[in-house]
Amino acid sequence: MKKLRSYLKTTYTAMATYVLAIDKSKDTEEFNQSLDVLNAVRKHYADLLTKRK
């Protein structure tokens, strides 16, 4: 389970970094929407973690 979490975190970080870099360089609607989705998911899970504590 620990290896899976590590792999998923590494993959997610690489994808988020890629989307952010492309969004900043090209500023196209496709990557703007992708970044908005990533931020919405992050906020959702951050809110869930806040409610647990």
> How confident is the model at residue 40, as a pLDDT?
95
Find the Cα–Cα–Cα–Cα dihedral 18, 31, 33, 51, rounded to 10°.
10
- Whether 14 shows a pLDDT value over 80: the answer reads yes
> How confident is the model at residue 31, as a pLDDT?
85
* 28 torsion bin: left (phi>0), alpha (psi -120 to 50), beta (else): beta
Q: What is the mean pLDDT of residues 6-22?
A: 92
Q: Domain ranges for the chain, please list them.
A: 2-52
Q: What is the mean pLDDT of residues 11-21?
A: 91
Helix axes 29-52, 2-26, angle to 10 degrees: 140
- Whether 53 shows a pLDDT value over 80: the answer reads no
Q: What is the mean pLDDT of residues 23-42?
A: 89
